Amino acid sequence: MSKDNKLRVYEYAKSLNMSSKEIITILKRLNLPVNNHMSVMENEMVSKVEGFFRDIKSNAAAKRAQESSAAVSAAAQPASKPTDRNVQQAATDNKNLTQDRQVLMNSNNTKTNTSTDQRSSQSQDNRPERQGGGQNRGPQGGTGGGQNRSPQGGTGGGQNRSSQGGTGGGQNRSSQGGTGGGQNRSSQGGTGGGYNRSSQGGTGGGYNRSSQGGTGGGQNRGPQGGAGGSQNRGPQGGAGGGQNRGPQGTSRAQFSQPSGGSQGRSFDSKPVAPARSGDDRFDRNRNGSGSSNSGGRKSNQNGPQKRFDDNRTGGNFRGNNRGGKGKGRGGQQQPPREKIDNTPKKIIVRGTMTVGDLAKLLHKDASEVIKKLISLGIMATINQEIEMEAILLIAAEYGSEVEVKIPVEEDDFEKDEEKDEEADLLPRPPVVTIMGHVDHGKTTLLDAIRKTNVTGGEAGGITQHIGAYQVEINQKKITFLDTPGHEAFTLMRARGAQVTDITIIVVAADDGVMPQTVEAVNHAKAAGVPIIVAVNKIDKPEANPDKIKQELTEYGLVPEEWGGDTIFVNVSAKQRIGLEGLLEMILLVAEVNDYKANPDKRARGTVIEAELDKGKGPVARILVQHGTLKIGDAFVAGNCFGRVRAMVNDRGRRIKEAGPSTPVEITGLTEVPQAGDPFMAFEDERKARAIAERRAIKHRQSELGANTRVTLDDLYKHIKDGEIKDLNVIIKADVQGSNEALKGSLAKIDIEGVRVKIIHNGVGAITESDIILASASNAIVIGFNVRPEPQAMATAEQEKVDIRLHNIIYNVIDEIEQAMKGMLDPVFKEVIIGHAEVRNIFKVSKVGAIAGCMITDGKVTRSAEARVIRGGIVVHEGKVDTLKRYKDDAKEVAQGYECGITLQSFTDFKEGDVIEAFVMESVER
Ligand SMILES: Nc1nc2c(ncn2[C@@H]2O[C@H](COP(=O)(O)OP(=O)(O)OP(=O)(O)O)[C@@H](O)[C@H]2O)c(=O)[nH]1
């Protein structure tokens, strides 16, 4: 080393017994900066050069191995039977192999050697000395002892644990390794030991891990390399070592022509014959003489030696003898390539993957994984996806732990049904909605219930309107949604939220079943929730509860006392009669249905109401349905996000957490969500924000994109795709007669297994509530001689509900049949161009009646067709006859202008009639 403590090229070359020029050539080939022999070799350069040597060496070794396998068999002793295994490779693997073979050897020995066979003799001898004993524990192991534990190992002992290893012991663990021991773990390595772990390496040890390398050891890893070691890794390289990595080596012979006492190998030189002649590592000598064997030593002297002698007749097998190459010959041996197990302890799996990907993950060759799969009965190619089960099996084969991380579709969290363990589910209060006809007493009943029952501890609390409240009866809670009416109920359902468990239909006993009662029944049925009928106002003298029961049987609600399964409770909301009975019935239904939820997870629920409060900012009233919502929780509500800042219950009390079926008002939102929006808590606000943003984008895209509601135009596609089995229909007709006729005709349609299911029908204009129901139930609306109310029209457009308007029953049936067969071919589509309101009627002889109108929206044209609508019902449909502005004929009159309209063959105008002008436009299909 130079004075400045830097390694120069010439020094490095010298240490390798190479010329500076050779090193410079290599450095240049490796693109490493070098000028001349005085250039400094940085550590990195040294390691790169060494890597280069290693590569070349391993390539050469592989090549050589191929060439030499034949030669090896020839060079083996006559009695020995070389394995077909590549000998050169075996040399590099000799450590592992030795151990493997050791096991094999022992088992073979046990099987075949009568003198040592433990199983056959079943003997264990503790006599002081025993010859050929199966197992000797005597003070002096016997000759040919299968296993000697005697203080002095026997000659040829399969395994000597004796304090002094026996000669030729397969494995010596003795304090002093035996001569020719296959493997010496003795404190002092034996002479010719194949593998010495002894504190002092044995002479000629094939592989010494001894603290002091053995003389002539094939490979010394001892801190002090042995003399003549083929490869010394000891910090103090041995004398004459084939390859010394010790900082202080003597005659290091590597990658150079042999020099001095070392017989090294030039990296591009051919293998040296003598080395291989003594390199008979596998010798399954079945006719072994049984004579004492000192293979290691022998090899030191003469070269030839046996590494593996499976002597089956004598107890004196040499066993796993890796005796070194002898002094001055150490350089012959390839350094054993230690097999590094780089199998990861744990792999993360995100769903199924290809065989190739799995192999990569496990740091294995795909072919190896494929072989393993075949052994498991799974035939797969490298690019084939394999199931999670197979992934787990393969990983287990390699002892790798698998962490399955399947990404949850958190953006669509409302669709993700979390499965709870039965044990985690606890009873929760039922959620009840009250519906019924106008003025039948819904609000009065809700108020009465609220006041009837104030939870003990919370008495005195100021009740607050938060969209829902809880009452307690018999220590059980019931949650009421206090937005009466089916619109709110169905609106939520239309938004995908199933909030209600039980519906109470209020019917005034002094009035009877009315259109909205029927609607409410149909809405509840469409949602599939149990119905309890509250027959209200029984305090009134004219009350007739039985009449109500009778009327409701027509709608499938048969009282229990009449053999049905509907619970009827007589109440007076005003007089507070029968309220407790009603509540008990609710609890009964709840008990039967066993409503449960897991309170021990993050909260999920539905927004019942939301608004922008001047003081508090956006507030949302939420019904927690699963899990527990806590102050500080980050959450997403619809397309909004936030963090729960404050939480107030229905009593106006601030609370810290809310479990399942609890209604709460929360603040901390960034925007105002919509009623019916899904709600879910997330681990942090950043995630909640990201999800809300993605939801908002998706929402906008879906609004722009195709509608998912069923329409007659795409009905056939839905049927074909198996998406629908029933065509849900809502019928609105002008009179009960046509309503019944339509119902009867539609019920008979059955095409390709798809039937018409009338979820609601009634007399009168198509209302917004009809549209919401249609939207929630994916239904189409058929109007027979009726029109949609303006608001209903707007909602239908928004919700993309298909409305079909007809005035001939046959056409309705035909249209639906054609749609079901996929043959619907509407060439024309009606386009409404405007509406005019009739304000005055002028009777003119000859002409008949002129309707003095105001155009309320759009326009009316001369060429248009028109229909006259009175109270939502079409009273006439025909062509526009004349259109005048004052006395002049006009081609068209726009919104905000007055005009006179006459229709062909219609004169019976009434003030307040609406004239709807429309044109028929051809539609591309
Ligand atoms: N006699 C009597 N009157 C009642 C009873 N329940 C409600 N009423 C009265 O019926 C009327 C209508 O009651 P509401 O509770 O407003 O009815 P509603 O169904 O909520 O009405 P809308 O909100 O308009 O749909 C009110 O004048 C109540 O006082 C009852 O049990 N007995």
Cα 438 to ligand 1 centre (Å)? 8
Per-residue pLDDT band for 244 (boundaries 50, 70, 90) equals very low
What are φ and ψ of residue 560, in 5° steps?
-55, -40
What are φ and ψ of residue 200, in 5° steps?
-125, 115
Cα 513 to ligand 1 centre (Å)? 15
Cα 764 to ligand 1 centre (Å)? 24
180-199: pLDDT as tens digits: 434 444 434 344 434 444 44
Q: Ligand 1 in contact with 539 (CB < 6 A)? A: yes
Q: Ligand 1 in contact with 598 (CB < 6 A)? A: no
Token duo for residue 10: 């010439």
546 annotated ligand-binding residue: no
What average pLDDT does range 798-822 have in this prediction?
Answer: 85
Question: Given the CA of residue 577, which atom of ligand 1 is nearest to it?
Answer: 31
Residue type, 110: T
Q: Ligand 1 in contact with 732 (CB < 6 A)? A: no
In CATH terms, is domain 599-707 a member of 2.40.30.10? yes
Q: Ligand 1 in contact with 441 (CB < 6 A)? A: yes
What are φ and ψ of residue 249, in 5° steps?
-105, 160
Cα 223 to ligand 1 centre (Å)? 100
Cα 520 to ligand 1 centre (Å)? 17
Residue type, 216: G
Helix ranges, 323-375 (H): 355-361, 366-375
pLDDT, position 464: 65
| 3 state SS of 496 | coil
What average pLDDT does range 583-604 have in this prediction?
Answer: 92
Q: Ligand 1 in contact with 574 (CB < 6 A)? A: yes
Question: What does the domain layout of the chain look like in residue ranges?
Answer: 10-66, 346-403, 425-597, 599-707, 723-822, 827-923
Question: Given the CA of residue 571, which atom of ligand 1 is nearest to it?
Answer: 31
51-80: pLDDT as tens digits: 888 888 788 777 767 765 644 444 444 433
Q: Ligand 1 in contact with 695 (CB < 6 A)? A: no
Question: Given the CA of residue 444, which atom of ligand 1 is nearest to it?
Answer: 15
- E strands, 437-538, in order: 468-473, 476-481, 502-508, 531-536
694-727: pLDDT as tens digits: 888 777 766 554 445 677 777 777 776 666 677 8
Nearest CA owner, ligand 1 atom 8: 441
Q: Ligand 1 in contact with 540 (CB < 6 A)? A: yes
CATH class of 827-923: mainly beta
What average pLDDT does range 258-273 have in this prediction?
Answer: 35
Cα 480 to ligand 1 centre (Å)? 18
Cα 648 to ligand 1 centre (Å)? 29
Q: What is the DSSP string of 127-151?
A: SSB-SS-SEE-SSBPPTT-SEE-SS
Question: Given the CA of residue 448, which atom of ligand 1 is nearest to it?
Answer: 6
Q: Ligand 1 in contact with 426 (CB < 6 A)? A: no
pLDDT at 819 exceeding the cut of 70: yes
67: Cβ contacts below 8 Å, ≥ 6 apart: none
CB 564 within 8 A of CB 558: yes
Give the separation between CA 833 and CA 864, rounded to whole angstroms.
Answer: 8
Give the separation between CA 482 and CA 478, rounded to whole angstroms.
Answer: 12
Q: Ligand 1 in contact with 572 (CB < 6 A)? A: yes
Question: Given the CA of residue 540, which atom of ligand 1 is nearest to it?
Answer: 1
pLDDT at 821 exceeding the cut of 80: no
Give the separation between CA 372 and CA 390, rounded to whole angstroms.
Answer: 10
| 3 state SS of 68 | helix
Mutate which of 538, 574, 577 for ligand 1? The one with the most ligand atoms within 8 Å of its CB, which is 574
Give the separation between CA 481 and CA 554, rounded to whole angstroms.
Answer: 28
CB 521 within 8 A of CB 555: yes
Helix ranges, 514-565 (H): 515-527, 545-553
439 annotated ligand-binding residue: yes
pLDDT at 666 exceeding the cut of 90: yes
Cα 440 to ligand 1 centre (Å)? 5
Question: Given the CA of residue 536, which atom of ligand 1 is nearest to it?
Answer: 31
Q: Ligand 1 in contact with 573 (CB < 6 A)? A: yes
456-475: pLDDT as tens digits: 444 444 556 777 888 888 88
CB 783 within 8 A of CB 796: no
CB 194 within 8 A of CB 202: no
Q: Ligand 1 in contact with 484 (CB < 6 A)? A: yes
Question: Given the CA of residue 575, which atom of ligand 1 is nearest to it?
Answer: 31
Q: Ligand 1 in contact with 443 (CB < 6 A)? A: yes
Q: Ligand 1 in contact with 444 (CB < 6 A)? A: yes
| 3 state SS of 663 | strand
536 annotated ligand-binding residue: yes
pLDDT at 781 exceeding the cut of 50: yes
Residue type, 648: V
Q: Ligand 1 in contact with 836 (CB < 6 A)? A: no
442 annotated ligand-binding residue: yes
Mutate which of 433, 443, 538, 570 for ligand 1? The one with the most ligand atoms within 8 Å of its CB, which is 443
pLDDT, position 713: 72
pLDDT at 296 exceeding the cut of 50: no
| 3 state SS of 727 | strand
Nearest CA owner, ligand 1 atom 11: 439
| 3 state SS of 262 | strand
What are φ and ψ of residue 400, in 5° steps?
-100, 135
217 annotated ligand-binding residue: no
| 3 state SS of 742 | helix
65: Cβ contacts below 8 Å, ≥ 6 apart: 86, 87, 88, 89
pLDDT, position 559: 92
End-to-end Cα distance, the chain: 91
Cα 434 to ligand 1 centre (Å)? 13
Nearest CA owner, ligand 1 atom 6: 441
CATH class of 425-597: alpha beta
Q: Ligand 1 in contact with 438 (CB < 6 A)? A: yes
Token duo for residue 186: 């003795």
95 annotated ligand-binding residue: no
Distances (CA, A) of 496 to 604, 677, 780: 14, 8, 18
- How high does pLDDT run on average in the chain? 71
Nearest CA owner, ligand 1 atom 27: 439
Q: Do domains 425-597 and 827-923 have the same CATH topology?
A: no
pLDDT, position 722: 66
Identify any residues that bridge with 626 across adjacent strands, giving them in sequence order.
604
- CATH topology for the 723-822 domain: Rossmann fold (3.40.50)
Cα 521 to ligand 1 centre (Å)? 19
Cα 443 to ligand 1 centre (Å)? 7
CB atoms within 10 A of CB 408: 10
Q: Ligand 1 in contact with 157 (CB < 6 A)? A: no
Give the separation between CA 534 and CA 765, rounded to whole angstroms.
Answer: 28
Is residue 726 packed enough to be buried (19+ CB in 10 Å), middle (13-18) or exposed (0-12)? middle
143 annotated ligand-binding residue: no
Cα 537 to ligand 1 centre (Å)? 8
CATH class of 10-66: mainly alpha
CB 774 within 8 A of CB 750: no
Distances (CA, A) of 8 to 25, 34, 51, 812: 15, 10, 18, 100
pLDDT, position 424: 87
Give the separation between CA 756 and CA 743, rounded to whole angstroms.
Answer: 9
CB 683 within 8 A of CB 691: no
Nearest CA owner, ligand 1 atom 2: 537
CB 324 within 8 A of CB 192: yes
Regarding an ipTM greater than 0.90, the answer is yes
551-590: pLDDT as tens digits: 999 999 999 889 889 999 999 999 999 999 999 999 999 9
pTM of the model: 0.45
Residues in the chain: 925
Distances (CA, A) of 32 to 22, 26, 36, 46: 14, 9, 12, 10
Mutate which of 435, 437, 439 for ligand 1? The one with the most ligand atoms within 8 Å of its CB, which is 439
